Amino acid sequence: MHLALFFIFGALCVAGALNLLLQRHPINSALSLIVVMSSLAVLYLLLGAEFLAAAQVIVYSGAIMVLFTFVIMLLNAGKEERTHGSKMAYVAGFPGAAILLGLLTFIFVSRRGSFGQARLGEYVVTTADLSRVLFKDLLLPFEVTSVLILIAILGAVALARKEH
């Protein structure tokens, strides 16, 4: 079960990353990045890292992507072009969703509740251990990263500002 979910969400993550690179419209690229971040959260869940999965969804798929989308919309000061959706969604999205649904249905029906247990090892990382490492040992890189993101956003807004 875990191996099938790993392959499904790993492929979804790679497909989202490729779609991110192939999109011409920046909002569609940001939405593809949300797919990648959400797929990574499921992969963290499969590894038994529930806290990291929740942090991935809350911080990256939620807050950071809202911030990126806001900056993209702020910088796109020109006239909005009308699109009829992504061609990639029509070509791969509908058949991919049907194949994914069929595969998950087949796995759940064929196993009939005997999915087994996954073990990662003897040592279990608690939230207290993780927070101690993040906010004590790695506090400076954590704060420097947040300041760099803030400086990059302010620089993008300053470069995109129209002068009258």
Residue 130 has pLDDT above 80, yes or no: no
Q: By three-state DSSP, how is residue 131 classified? A: helix
Task: Report the pLDDT value the prediction gives residue 72, as an integer from 0 to 100.
Answer: 74
| Residue-averaged pLDDT of the chain | 78
Answer with the residue of higher pLDDT: 97 or 161. Answer: 97
CB 42 within 8 A of CB 53: yes
CA distance 18 to 14: 6
Encode burial over 111-142: b for 16+ CB neighbours within 10 A, e otherwise: eeeeeeeeeeeeeeeeeeeeeeeeeeeeeeee
Residue 107 has pLDDT above 70, yes or no: yes
Residues 32-91 have pLDDT tens digits of 888 898 899 989 888 888 888 888 888 887 777 777 777 777 776 555 566 666 676 777
Task: Report the pLDDT value the prediction gives residue 10, as an integer from 0 to 100.
Answer: 92
- Among the residues of 112-138, which ranges form H helices? 127-132
Task: Report the pLDDT value the prediction gives residue 14, as an integer from 0 to 100.
Answer: 93
Q: E strands along the chain, which residues?
A: none
> Is the CA virtual torsion 84, 86, 92, 98 positive or negative?
negative
Residue 115 has pLDDT above 60, yes or no: no
Q: By three-state DSSP, how is residue 85 classified? A: coil
Best CA proximity match to 65, nearest among 87, 36, 39: 36
